[in-house]
Amino acid sequence: MKKEILIGFIVGVIATVFGFIFAIQFFGDSDDWGNVIDQAIAEGFFTKLMSIGALLNLGAFFLFLKKNKDHRAKGVLISTILILIITMVIKFMN
């Protein structure tokens, strides 16, 4: 059971990273990810990019539910909540 939750958590983190990279490529003005991240932090929309990146977790969550992998879906939900907490901490620190 714990292994299944860990797998779901890792899938959630990887989905968030891929979503974040996709958001940087789609919404960024430059091909240099460092420039886009620096610009996003300076202009205050870094947390919005993180939130967009976490949207891929929605697909992973419902895919696991459809395949009756409830423990993996729980892991994805835990990773999404962790991303939420990190996003809120970053948002309120600026």
Burial of 63 (0-12, 13-18, 19+ CB in 10 A): middle
Mean pLDDT of the chain: 91
pLDDT number for residue 38:
86
pLDDT number for residue 81:
96
Q: Is pLDDT above 80 for 94? A: no
- What is the count of structural domains for the chain? 1
pLDDT number for residue 28:
80
DSSP conformation letters of 12-78: HHHHHHHHHHHHHHHH-SSS-HHHHHHHHHHHT-HHHHHHHHTTHHHHHHHHHHHTT-HHHHHHHHH
Q: Give the tokens for residue 75.
A: 């892991």
Residue numbers of the domain that contains 80:
2-93
Average pLDDT rounded to a whole number, residues 53-58: 92
Per residue in 76-85, pLDDT (tens digit) is 999 999 999 9
Q: Is pLDDT above 80 for 52? A: yes
Q: How confident is the model at residue 70 (pLDDT cuts 50, 70, 90)?
A: very high
pLDDT number for residue 80:
95
Q: Is pLDDT above 90 for 33? A: no
Maximum Cα interatomic distance, the chain, rounded to a whole number of Å: 43
Q: Give the tokens for residue 67.
A: 């395949």
Q: At what angle do helices 2-27 and 46-53 cross, to 10 degrees?
A: 130
